[in-house]
Chain A
């Protein structure tokens, strides 16, 4: 069955099963491997993308459910790593192995869009992504830096 996904501003007709999670359409059919597989059950957030601006865990989102929506992945956050969150991430030296960071960044971007000055409690509630390397303190600091909140 062919369905069309709008990914990073472009329409992509895809001949795949409608129950295919968006994650695997991105990674295997479109070669957008910046979005990561960590658990496949919505637990870790490594696969976080934006659907119409909202942070969504793409491993738990069948492609048929996002056919009419705009999907943004880490690759299209900015052309040159200039998004405020990306800059804060580099400045704050957040990533370690980096594997969870695409998802972290997408979650953080969505948070700031909704809530430009999040409190610590807001960050706690919004950033439920798992990071095995333990980058959380720097994730928190970088979100605050990007939001212009003194640490």
Chain B
């Protein structure tokens, strides 16, 4: 790929070295309209359009959605557009987040509009160039299918023949976007561009990377977080055919061999002695008590309104004091692993003047900087090759595995090894390596007035500090309050006039991290189970109760009504069946679920059907949005049913899919997804399916039993799905 010349102020430039190719550089003119991102589009001599992006597609179809946007605005067929990841260089960082990463459903949210503007600007310039050639006013030129047409004279010009002329024009100050009513490509359920390579095994994920002379390293960690390697007799591993080296890392042990199997066989042959470290006492039962006690005590950091929008400590205290009734519930949820299907890995090669890495990642620039630090290099000397990703869900926002690969190659280099090494974590290492969704206890109190309407809500949370553990760019600078505590609780449309949030840091030393939907993954349960209890207290149907709370909130109310309608809320159900409802708002999107379930025998429930709905604002590709909603729902279902990471004597008890079960095909009932687009700003899609499935199930169980679900996974609450 040719390097962009970012120093040029001009919009269009003929870029050297790639022949007749236009580089649409960072647009000063687009500065105001596109604050986050400098869009880059190239049109090759054959008319193929390459658009750069700084968000990885980690399986959501983001790149196809962006390609659709470019195709739409540039008036070319989708098959003429391909997305390419921009180089991991400062100039290409995503300005809305200050680095180069993808998380928090930011893909379309940060890249869609700038790319549309860039493509629309390019189309206008090509149109002007065509108008000059036709010697007609520009408004007589129609752009279609990669051609400029002049209908009256029947003349046409291909874009490729207009590139040189267009390059001489100045960019429009405000490119005109194609109105939604005229969209032909954007917003359509078109086939994803990445899928063909995923049905014939040809897509090369990070773990598949093969380099000349490459060795494979397999790693195991100290069994406790912070434990250290005391001693190991290397001989049994070195006796295994195909094993080359044993490498002692600070808290881990690696065996390097000709391939994964010899290396893992070598690792299995070792009996390392580990020092327990400071966290050997962690025990889930004790931690659970600690979290619950801290939540009940409620003595944590009080978020001021300046940090947590909508919070007001005094008003909430007044509401509690004057309440006719308080719905008061203590909730608890466990640590959860991401369990991406592709385990963590990183291939690395040292070069004379730098290093190169190949990996599946969500966080290119932080990884680059961290690897550079280990190797004593300037970040610019670390070339990051971000491959297609076998699942992210937030785990690949961390770079612990890339840092480990850097330490490994450094140790090997000191030992005379010069070939590239691919480090791979066995599933067991991956599952026990931490960066889990934090375990949380939260006491939620909802004050109701005499009519049963909310006056205020107080949430006392106890959990580890997510932000301090991850150490990523996006986490920094919040020593006192951890904003993830409020996700899915603050900025909801429900009429809850006063809110008070506290956070007590209870941090046993287990690394925690961002897990698909982050704080909303637990707060969705806390809030929605609380709302259903309030509705029951006043004897109102839970959906009707929410309608009251959403009076005047048109977008949320419309959403609720559409979801309720598609699920047939209020219809006569088969005997013993109940519906459960839950919704929530995050990332400028609204999402929710209705489930229908029954209880065939005590402690066992059957899930008959799931309805999911999402309003992500702009719908770039309804088919991909539907897939994300299904996927998020099933991700949340796995957590709700049986997902938990527990520790005994400082050691994680789960290690593979036999002890950390995921929902299976047979467990997932028929599911219907409603995609609502209301054409406001682009919202999130990737995380939105997760938070509301557990509370929808909980609320259906509540409807049948009258007992609220206050703990996940459901197995801990005494429920198994059959």
Contact = CB atoms under 8 A, between A and B. Distances in A.
Interface in A54-104: 73-75, 77-78, 81, 86, 89-90, 93-102
Given A86-B199, A90-B199, A130-B657, A100 B341 contact: yes
Given A17-B241, A40-B426, A90-B195, 11 more contacts: A21-B261, A28-B258, A34-B200, A38-B343, A43-B658, A97-B341, A97-B391, A127-B665, A130-B662, A133-B59, A136-B665
Best-surrounded residue of B191, B390, B630 (most CB of chain A within 10 A):
B390
A134 B670 CA distance: 13
13 contacts: A34-B200, A36-B341, A36-B342, A37-B207, A41-B657, A97-B388, A99-B205, A128-B665, A131-B341, A133-B631, A133-B635, A134-B633, A137-B668
Contacts of B196: 81, 90
B201 A90 contact: no
Given A24-B260, A132-B339, A133-B391, A41 B656 contact: yes
Nearest to B390: A99
**In the complex, which range does the number of interface residues on chain A fall in?**
35 or more
Nearest to A1: B241
B204 interface: yes
Nearest to A28: B259
A136 B427 contact: no
Interface string A125-151: 101111111111111100000000000
Interface of B: 58-61, 191-192, 194-205, 207-208, 210, 216, 241-242, 258-262, 265, 339-343, 388-393, 424, 426-427, 623-624, 627-628, 630-635, 656-658, 662-666, 668, 670-671
Contacts of A98: 59, 194-195, 197-198, 203, 388, 390
Contact of B341 (A124, A127, A132): A132
A51 interface: no
Given A93-B623, A97-B59, A123-B665, A37 B631 contact: no
A20 interface: yes
A17 B204 CA distance: 26
Nearest to B628: A96
B437 to A, nearest CB: 14
Nearest to B210: A31
A93 B188 CA distance: 14
A28 B260 contact: yes
B304 to A, nearest CB: 38
A9 to B, nearest CB: 16
Nearest to B669: A137
Contacts of B208: 27, 33
Contacts of B656: 39-41, 43
Best-surrounded residue of A33, A77, A97, A98 (most CB of chain B within 10 A):
A97
B425 to A, nearest CB: 10
A29 interface: yes
Given A99-B391, A136-B668, A40 B199 contact: no
Contacts of B388: 97-98
A123 B670 CA distance: 13
B630 A134 contact: yes
A105 interface: yes
A123 to B, nearest CB: 7
Contacts of A3: none
A86 B200 CA distance: 8
B9 to A, nearest CB: 40
A77 B665 contact: no
Interface of A: 16-17, 20-21, 24-25, 27-29, 31-41, 43-44, 46, 73-75, 77-78, 81, 86, 89-90, 93-102, 105, 123-125, 127-140
Contact of A33 (B192, B199, B204, B265): B204
Given A40-B427, A99-B391, A137-B668, A132 B200 contact: no
4 A-B pairs with the lowest CB-CB distances in the bound complex, closest first: A34-B201, A134-B634, A97-B59, A98-B198
Chain B residues touching A, majority SS: loop
B617 to A, nearest CB: 21
Contact of A95 (B195, B210, B216, B259): B195
Contacts of B666: 124-125, 127-128
A21 B207 CA distance: 17
B341 A133 contact: yes
A27 B259 CA distance: 9
Best-surrounded residue of A25, A29, A37, A43 (most CB of chain B within 10 A):
A37
Contacts of B58: 97
A97 B342 contact: yes
Nearest to B427: A39
A96 B60 contact: yes
Contacts of B393: 132
A33 B198 CA distance: 12
A65 B628 CA distance: 40
A136 B59 contact: no
Contacts of A132: 339-341, 391, 393, 635, 662
Contact of A74 (B201, B633, B635): B201
Given A98-B390, A99-B341, A99-B390, A32 B665 contact: no
A40 B656 CA distance: 9
A27 B627 CA distance: 29
Given A28-B216, A28-B260, A86-B200, A134 B632 contact: yes
Contacts of A137: 630, 668, 670-671
B389 A97 contact: yes
B187 to A, nearest CB: 16
Contacts of B392: 97
Best-surrounded residue of A36, A99, A124 (most CB of chain B within 10 A):
A99
Contacts of B426: 40
Given A90-B196, A132-B340, A132-B635, A32 B201 contact: yes
Contacts of A138: 627, 630
Contacts of B260: 24, 27-28, 37
Contacts of B668: 134, 136-137
A38 B341 contact: yes
A81 B199 contact: yes
A89 B195 contact: yes
Given A39-B657, A124-B665, A95 B630 contact: no
A18 to B, nearest CB: 11
Contacts of A128: 664-666
Contacts of A78: 200
A28 B261 CA distance: 9
B201 A102 contact: yes
A39 B339 CA distance: 10
